[in-house]
Structures are given as C-alpha cells and as structure tokens.
Structure 1
Amino acid sequence: MTTLDTRTLHVHAPGSPGGEWWRDAVIYQVYPRSFADASGDGVGDLPGVTSRLGHLAELGVDAVWLSPFYRSPQADAGYDVADYRDVDPLFGTLADFDEMLARAHGLGLRVIVDLVPNHTSDEHAWFVEALAAGPASAARERYLFREGRGEHGELPPNNWQSIFGGPAWTRTTDADGTPGQWYLHLFDSRQPDLNWEHPEVRAEFEDVLRFWLDRGVDGFRIDVAHGMVKAPGLPDWDGHVSMIEGTDGVEPTDPDRADEVTGTGNRGPMFDQDGVHEIYRAWNRVLAQYAGDRALVAEAWVEPLSRLALYVRPDEMQQAFNFAFLATPWDAAQLREVIEASYVTADGVGAPTTWVLSNHDVVRHPSRLGLSVPGSRPNGIGVGDEQPDEELGLRRARAATLLMLGLPGSAYLYQGEELGLPDHTALDDDLRQDPAFFRTGGAERGRDGCRVPLPWAADEPGFGFSPTGVTWLPQPASWAPYALDAQRGVPGSTYETYRAALAVRRAEQLGSGGLAWVPDAGEDVIAFTNRDVLVVANLGGSPVPLPAGAQVLVASVEPVTAADGTLAVPADATVWVRTPA
C-alpha cells in the first residue's frame, strides 16, 4: 500500500477552545463499590474515592461521574434508591460526600452524580406508603399500579417484560391477605416505576436536582433517560428488551444512510416517548439557575441517531452517550459510518458527540474485542462461555481507545480501563449478584464481571483495594500485571499510554477540534485529521505506511520501521502523528 494521502474530506468543523466544559471533557466513571475501600469492609466507599482522586488528576481527566451512592437496600447495586438526599452508610455520609467534592474541585476535577428517576426502591417512603394505603389511594398515583386482567385479576395488566428478565409486573397483597393490584417495574421487582404524569413526581425530582446542585455538583448522569414516560394506556407489545440489546432482531440499516441504526436501541411503548422531552426542558431551566455550565447527561439507549439527538437539543440535555459507537464491531467501514452519522446528527442540534467504549453495564471492551467476533456484545461472560483472547483484546482495546480519544467531542472512560482491565470472565456463578443473572435463570451472566474491584497494588492483599484485603467480588490472580503500581512509570504500559494520550489531547485541543477523513486510506483503515494531528487506526493485517517525516505523538503499539526508514502502523493499532507542513 502506498503512503497515506494527506488530502482530507471535512465532516465536522472545529469549534472554539474555551467553550462549555462538557463539550470536550474527558469524564471518568467511578463505580464507588469497586473503586477503593477505605473502611476495610470490602466495599468501596466515598472516603476511598477521595483517597484516590489524585490518581485521576494525574491521569489527566477533566471530570468524575459517580454511580449511585444514595441510601438503598442494594437490590440492584444502588440503582434502587430509597432516599435521593442521603448517602448510604455502606458508602459513608453526606459529610464524606462534601469532603470528596471539595477535594475533587481542589484538583480541578468536576463531579457528576447519577440520578435514577425512572424508578425508586421498594423501600422508598413513597412506595411503602403506597402499599399501606391500598388501591385507589393518592399515594398509589405516584407509581404505576393497575388492576390485573382475567376473571379475577390474576393476569398482569399487559404483557411487558422486565429488562432483567421475567414479567415487568408484580402483584401486591391487600391488607386482608387477598391478591391485590399489580405494579410496573421495567427492571427488578424491587424497583417500581414512577408515574411521571404525576405533578408531585416532577416537583420532587426538580427539588432533588436543587439539593445536589446546592451542594456544588457539576451535573447529573440520568439513568434510563428514555424510560420515564410510557405510551398512553400501556398497550401490549410483543418485542423483546434487554439491558444492552433491545432491537428485537432489527438489523442495521443500509450503511450509506446518514442516520445509523446499529442494534442498540430499546424499543417499545415503554421507551423513548416524546413526553420525556418536556421533563428535560424543565430540568434544563433548573440547571440554568446555577453558574458554572452544569450538565445533564442522557443514558438513552435509543435509535436511530436522529432520535438520540432530540435529547441534546439546546433546551434539553448537554450530552448523550453514543452507544451506537460502543456497539459497533471491530470493522473499519462500520466505524467510519457510525462516526460520520454521529457528527451529522449531533451537529444538526449544536451538541457535542459523546464517545464511550465501556461502562458498568457492558462487558469491558478489552474482553469484547478479544472474542471470535470482535466487538460483539454478550450479556456477560462466564465459565463455559467463549473466553476472549486476552492479549489480542487488549491490543485492540488500546487501539480503539486512541481512536476514540482522537475524535472531537467529549469522551467517557470507565474505571480500570486505563489499566487495560478485562472482564472477570471466569467468575463463579455462585458469587454473582446481578439481578439480571437471577431473573433470567442464569441465561444472562449479567454485569458482575465488569464490576470487580480495581487492582491498585500488585503485591498487596486484594491488590490494595482495601486495607484488609477483602473484596466484595473476587479479583482474578491474573490481574497482578494490570495493577496501577505495576504500570506507573513503565513506558508503553496501558496506563502510561492513556496518560500520554490525554496529555496530547489537551495540548492539541483535540476535543474542540474538527474531523476530516483522509480519502482512500484503505478498506481496513480509519484515518482522519483533527486540527494538526493525523490519526490512523489500522484494523487490518498489513502495516499502513505513514507520511514521510511524520512525528509520532502517541501510539497504542509502536510503529514498525521499513528498510527505507519510513514508519508504518501495525495491525490492530492506532497512531497519532504530526506531519510536515
């Protein structure tokens, strides 16, 4: 193959550096129970987060997103909230939160907290009151209670299924011991859905927003942002929904379409109803009352991308995770298509594109990319399943990350990916805690494999996660080389590669930059320029020559050198270079 042509085809125009912080920020997701444990009980906590914030500042991220730490019976790892204005004792206290927030701000890190508005815990005061009050009570109007179908109400009100498996309805028992009404729960039976048509529900969550904004948080990641409003009448639907894949067999559309469908949207009358946008316009007005460009981030598994763009119109949210990118296989043509379609739709509403490769709900991308179908999306991996090629998966994951960080817009990192962590793919089923595993009878392994506590120190008990060595899920012994202290200061380590990439990204202002494709780069190559940086990702098997005189800025794998001294990008690698003027 000849050297890359440096002519370009513009797709996304560069912005102005110094705009709203969320337009180009790199945000690090902290899953508190698995990040760092200060108390020694084996579960991560807020003091543990505080103790490790220096790591995030050293890494070079701009902000932190914290998964739920609110009061909760932990039926779904804190996504079942019993009190939205308090910290669960498992994680500490409100004072611990305030200390963590002050420390983060002191390090120049913004803090986003999770908000879970689609449902509460069954231990929330409202739901406890609703059960006690009985049918036809005002307390039940805050949730979705319905009479059953059938002669004696013995059948659920409709045929909806839970994302975690099984029916989406659970029947109550009346005070006299007889079967009563049913309540809706799109997730676990201990997570009853709220009725967002009720004004008291809307007022309550606006007040919750103010509670945390007053404490100084910089924004909110909205859980199930596409799920709060249901279609009128709650009609039957014969499709299937799941945590990751909700398209009921829908295939991706023609790749020439600008508006991509990749199989990542939750469909049906319980999702992506137009009424959700009224809620976010109201929340936008709440945040506008506070200084500092506060942000709302949508976790919305919706497609096509034109539907996702509705969530980030100027008067709604600021960001929406690009799950279409996360879900795209390790295929250059498909990745180019989804990247271009993402810019077309996001630019159409003046919003940034928000890139992501891993989070607490999906198999980590080093493991996904090590499967025989690289980039496929199993709902967990366990004993007896195909085991990823760990070395190949990490190589591809590093390349995918450099591709992502080279793109203009905002990007999210999931804790531990800077270490190259794979999933724990051999976790014993007896140790699993994800409700999806139990509600599907083990058909879905669930998300525990990506939630295992982090390894900080290779030679310490529990890899330094806890002062006692206890961890709420076991860490595989093979994780020792991934520990932070085994990688810090080691040239070419995954950690140092992330640090280098983030430093170059900031120095070159790539987050606010533009994107122009390099034409005719090759079928298996993604090549583009962003400001003065040329990004080349080689997903094929043959080296891709770089322009003569190219200066390497950062590489997932060191370029190979030809006999004539020219550099080339090896297989499954991404390189950032500056080319001669």
Structure 2
Amino acid sequence: MASEWWRSAVIYQVYPRSFADSNGDGIGDLPGITSRLEKIAELGADAVWLSPFQPSPQNDAGYDVADYVGVAPLFGTLEDFDALLARAHQLTLKVIIDLVPNHTSSEHEWFKAALAAGPGSPERERYLFRDGRGHGGNEPPNNWQSVFGGGAWTRVTEADGTPGQWYLHLFDVTQPDLNWRSPVVRESFRDILRFWLDRGVDGFRVDVAHGLIKAEGLPDYTPPKPRSMGGGHTGAEDVEDKPETAPYWGQDGVHEIFREWHQVLAEYDGDRALCGEAWVEPLSKLAQWVRPDEMQQTFNFSYLLTEWQAEAQREVITESLEAFESVGAPATWVLSNHDVLRHTTRLALSFESPQGAGVGPRDIPNLPERHFALRRGRAATALMLALPGSAYLYQGEELGLPEVADLPDDARQDPTWFRTGGERYGRDGCRVPIPWEAEAPAYGFSPSGASWLPQPPEWAELARDEQESDPGSTLAMYHELLNLRREHALGEGSLEFLEGYGEDVVAFRNQDVTVISNLGGWDFYLPDGRVIGASAPVGRNLPPDTTVWMVTE
C-alpha cells in the first residue's frame, strides 16, 4: 500500500451490537469483536471501522452519545477497547472509531446542565436553544423537519414549571444538536480527539460531517422529494442537484472545524485519518471536504446511490475520480453500510426505496428473487473492488447477506419506525446480527442463542463456516478479489475506460488488470486473456450481471 495507508485501504465496518456477542446477552460487544478480528484480517482488509460503542441510552443504536470518552457497559470497558486495539494492531489492522459531533444524547451531562441553567446561560450555548414563534412562543422557531420524521424542535419545561425554549434535534428528540459556533464546543471536541488518539486509534469516521454548522438565522426550508435507493442516519433526503442548499447541511463553516481537526491529527505519528459522512452533491462540492488541509477521505454516497446501469456507473466513476483527484484525495467506494439497504437487495429492486424507508413485510411480494439479487450484488462488488482508491465493506456483505424484510413489528428498534408511525421501516433490516456457524446458537453470534434482532432461518446456509469450505461461495469471492486487489496494487492504480464493448458493459483497465462488467441482459464474447477473478463462473462468454478480472497477454 501507499505510505499514507488510507489512500488505498480496504476498510471493514463493524457494527458492534451485531458482530459478535461474548457474554450471551444478545448484543455484540468489544470482546466479541476482538475474538473475531483474525477473520477480518484473513479476509484481506487493511482497517476496521467501529460504529459507536461509547456510553449511550441506545435510543439510536449508540448514535446518541452520552459520554464521548468512555465505553458503554453494554459493550465492555476501556480496558476491553485497549485489548481490541492491541490485537488489531498485532494483526496489522488499523482501527477507525466513530465520532458523533453533530448532536449528543439528551442524557449527556452537557444537556442536563443546559436544561438546569436556563435561557441565556453559557450551558445552553452548547446547544441550539431558541425562543418559539407565535403567541407565547408556542410555535417552533422554524419549519425544519427531523430526518427521522416529525418536527425538528422540542419545547422544554423550565425549572419553574413554565413552558420554555425549544431545542433543535435534526434526528431523534433525544439527540439535541450542538452549537458548533461555540468555542467551548470546539475546544471540547479537540480534547475528545486527543483522548482517543492518545490511546492509539488510527482515525475517525465523522458522523453527519456536513451538518455541524447551520445557516445564520435558521431560516425556514422545505426539502425536495427524497432521493430513492438511499437510507439512514444521514440527511440524505436533501442530496440534490438543485443549487439551493439546505440551511442545516453543507454550510461553508464546517471546513474551518475540520481544518482544526486536521491539525490535531497532525500532532500524532502514523498518518491518522478523518473520514467524513457527508451527504453532499455534486461530487465537485463534496471534494471540498477532502482538500489537503481538511479530511483525508469522505464517503462517496453518489456512487452508493447509483443504479445498476452501465452509463450511470461509468458517469459516477468518472466524476468521482475527477473530483477527488482535483484536490489530491483518494476516491472512496462503498456499496453497503449500517444506514442503507444491503446492496445484494437494493441493486435488484424493481421499485423505489426512498431514503430511510427500508423494506418490510408489505414489500416482500415485490422483493427480488434471492439468487438473482445475490448475483447482481456480487457483480457490483467485483466492479467496486477493482477501482483505484479506498474501498469500504460492511460486515456480512462478504457472506452475501440480503436485507431482512420479515422482521416482526414488535422487534423493530429504529427510531424512524416509531417517529413515522410505521410508515417507514427504517434500518433494522441491515443490522441483524451476522451468522458465523450454521449449527451454533444464534448461528455463532451469541453463546446463549440470544439476538437483539431475530435472525432469519435461511441464514444457516450463509454462515461463515458453511462458506469457508465452498470455493464458489461469496466469502471465497471476497477472499480472492481482495488478494488480487493487493497483489496487483489496484487501490494505487489509475483507471482507463475501454471502448468497443457496447453500451451495457463497463470495461476498464487498472494497472495490468482488465475489468469487464456485464450490466445488460445478454451474454457477450470475452476477449482473449487469462481470467484471474470473477463474480460468477465464466467460459468464453460473459453472462449478464457478472464481472470478470482478466490479464490480457
């Protein structure tokens, strides 16, 4: 890999509560992760990204942080984290942790102090408290809506029992937004960064990195229609091509914050990295987040949201490479994460799935046939892993796990489900604990058989131990392609599109590897050359929904 490891790294996302449970309570934990790290290293990943494990009431699965410098007892202790970090480094895996700076939990001591201190106090300056509009301040300060549904403002009752100010929460009511114009907030987070850097973490994935600064005056705003095929804790409903920018996303003031953070990371050895979750379009604007003095990476959601269509794929790949290269940053590629439908389901949908909608029982009759969806998902993975730059994998995608649609209503936990009265299913379907061993309780996720979300019975055949002995398994494909990616240095390469393959084919060369992906409905004849990797068995013809890697003589 390049000396700056993050430029070409394959980064594996671990969603702690769904990865491995060591104590049998049905919720994954840090010792469980540590016990399975070797499997991530064997797969061929370079780094692990951990979703939040800090103290939290878990109203939004840990993205409601009550203490930024600790570990939730649910997941273990600081000593458990140190052991995880040490084992990862022993396996030459970098460790990135989630940081959630847009909002805290309402259980955070800062917010409790803000409620107690009252209007106009320094404590309230940490958050976005405002007086209401209308008679007696009975109406919210503006018309903003929560990403999770419903209004984005909640009124508090003051200490004397009277109706008081309103506070902003772009997500759940228990997630009050911080005021990033406050010097106290900025200083606090520089200290938080140093706490984890001192322990040895290699970087941070920054949640809602586009949302920290709100427009002056907090003006009213009505967002456009939600973008389809996305999902999650992101504000992606405002990903748009129109020039108007939502007053709570993508404001210029965020860049000053990340320049400060860049300087903090530069105090430490080892090429520490910031990766931003920034739902910003167009890509030319997103590239501003990864200028040389800001973040090292940002997620490429434009790529994730692109449909399985050849021209669209060529366009987004070209635009991505041009945008990121223009500022000297690596392109990043991602197909699945904890906020979106798993790509083995999403890319084969025949209907639109707006951001955050998820899928559930009422969608089951219209969901794609499983083997067809898996074939397409594998082809998309093989295309993605051949692209130059850094790639992100989401736990379980190496097993070909589909989105779980048949979760019972009483099992769902995503706040989106509750805040929309069941209109949107939310993100639980991509967060179901993953299967390790076909014959073990909870498929090896938990020794007791407990699982915080129910696992489908058909996951027995997708368990890791079943796939390890099958050379045609999805796991085997990931092993093969990740090894080839490293062997041929594709992450450090450059891309040249190849002509003459037809409008339904994406074909390019990276280093000495020719990559051909058939996104159409018909077979076509492969050129001469040696096949070194493929998403499905191939002969002289390349079938639909198949990607092949070749070395031409």
Q: Structure 1 length normalisation: TM-score?
A: 0.92
Structure 1 residue 178: deviation in Å?
A: 1.4
Q: Alignment partner for residue 162 of structure 1, among 122, 146, 151? A: 146
Q: Which residue identity does 1:302 align to in structure 2?
A: V
Kept in 2: contact 1:162–1:186 (CA 8 A)? yes
**Aligned 8 A contact 1:559 1:568 in 2:** yes
Could you list the per-position Cα deviations for residues 315-335 of structure 1 after superposition, in whole angstroms to 9, with x for gaps in the alignment?
000001110110001100001
Code of the residue aligned with 1:358 in structure 2: it is: S
Distance 2:370 2:170 in 1: 35
Matched, 1:479 2:459: yes
Q: Is the 8 A contact 1:363 1:377 kept in 2?
A: no
The one-letter code matched in structure 2 to 1:171 is R
What do you get for the CA RMSD once the two structures are aligned? 1.6
Matches within 5 A, 1:33-48: 33-48=17-32
Residues 13-62 of structure 1 deviation map (CA, whole Å, 9 limit, x = unaligned): xxxx5331000000000000000000110000000000000100110100
Distance 2:344 2:351 in 1: 13
Q: What is the CA distance between 1:379 and its match in structure 2? A: 2.1
State the partner residue of 1:524.
504
The aligned amino acid for 1:69 is F
Structure 2 unaligned blocks of 5 or more:
none
Which residue, 199, 211, 228 being the options, matches 1:215? 199
2:398 is aligned with 1:427? no
In structure 2, the partner of 1:117 is 101
Please name the residue that 2:330 is paired with. Answer: 352
Verify: 1:399 aligned to 2:387, yes or no.
Answer: no
Instruction: Give the conservation status (yes or no) of the 8 Å contact 2:147–2:235.
Output: no
Query: Within the alignment, does 1:311 sit opposite 2:295 as a pair?
Result: no
Residues 370 and 390, structure 1, Cα contact 8 Å, conserved in 2: no
1:575 to 525, 548, 552: 548
Matches within 5 A, 1:371-520: 371-373=349-351, 379-385=357-363, 386-520=366-500
Give the alignment partner of residue 59 of structure 2, picking from 66, 69, 75: 75
Secondary structure of the corresponding residue to residue 12 of structure 2: strand
Contact 1:382 1:429 in 2 (8 A): no
Query: 1:326–1:356: 8 Å Cα contact kept in structure 2?
Result: yes
Tell me if structure 2 keeps the 8 A contact 1:75–1:190: yes
CA distance in 2, matches of 1:326, 1:504: 23
Distance 1:171 1:375, change over 3 A: closer
Q: Secondary structure of 1:537's match?
A: strand
Mapping for residues 172-321 of structure 1, pairs under 5 Å: 172-240=156-224, 243=232, 246=236, 261=241, 267-321=245-299
The one of 111, 126, 134 equivalent to 1:127 is: 111
Measured in 2, the distance between the counterparts of 1:103 and 1:171 equals 46
DSSP-derived class of the 2:509 partner: strand
Does the 8 Å CA contact 2:2/2:8 hold for their aligned counterparts?
no
* Secondary structure of 2:516 counterpart: strand
8 Å CA contact 2:356–2:416 kept in 1: the answer is no
Question: Which amino acid in the other structure matches residue 433 of structure 1?
Answer: Q
Question: Paired residue for 2:121?
Answer: 137
Amino acid at match of 2:53: F
> C-alpha separation between the residues in 2 aligned to 1:444 and 1:51?
35
- Indicate the residue corresponding to 1:558 in structure 2: 537
Deviation at 1:249, TM superposition (A): 9.4
5 Å matches for 1:148-159?
148-159=132-143
- 1:230–1:370 distance in 2 versus 1, CA, 3 Å: same
Matched to 1:111, the amino acid is V
Q: Which residue in 1 is equivalent to 2:316?
A: 338
Tell me the CA shift for residue 138 of structure 1: 1.1
Partner of 2:83: 99
Which whole-Å deviations, capped at 9, do the CAs of 1:397-438 have from their partners, x for residues lacking one? Answer: 000000000000000000000000001111112210000111
Q: Deviations over 1:453-479 (max 9, x none)?
A: 010011112101001010000000011
Q: Any unmatched runs of 5+ in structure 1?
A: 1-16, 251-260, 561-566
How far off is 1:363 after superposition? 0.5
Say whether the 8 Å CA contact 2:236–2:355 is kept in structure 1: no
Q: Distance in 2 between matches of 1:266 and 1:407?
A: 32
Which of 516, 521, 539 in structure 2 is aligned with 1:536? 516
| Amino acid of the structure 2 residue aligned with 1:493 | S
Q: Which amino acid aligns with 2:549?
A: W
Matches of 2:542 and 2:295, distance apart in 1: 38
Cα distance, 1:376–1:555 mapped onto 2, change above 3 Å: farther
Asked if structure 2 preserves the Cα contact closer than 8 Å seen for 1:224 and 1:299, the reply is yes
Displacement of 1:568 in angstroms is 2.1
Contact 1:110/1:218 (CA < 8 Å) preserved in 2?
Answer: yes
Aligned length: 545
For 1:417 and 1:374, the matched residues in 2 are separated by: 22
Cα offset for 1:370?
Answer: 2.7
Task: Measure, in 2, the Cα distance between the counterparts of 1:377 and 1:482.
Answer: 27
Cα distance in 2, alignment partners of residues 266 and 225 from structure 1: 19
Q: Distance in 1 between matches of 2:68 and 2:367?
A: 39
Q: Distance in 1 between matches of 2:444 and 2:428?
A: 20
Q: What CA distance in whole angstroms lies between the structure 1 residues aligned with 2:239 and 2:322? A: 26
Secondary structure of 2:362's aligned partner: coil
SS in 2 for 1:83: coil
Alpha carbons of structure 1 residues 508 and 479: separation in structure 2 relative to 1, 3 Å: same
CA contact (8 A) 1:362 1:379 kept: no
Q: State yes or no: 1:89 paired with 2:89.
A: no
| SS of residue matched to 1:355 | strand
User: Residues 246, 360 of structure 1: CA spacing in aligned structure 2 closer, same or farther, 3 A cutoff?
Assistant: closer
Determine the C-alpha separation between the residues in 2 that align with 1:520 and 1:374. 32
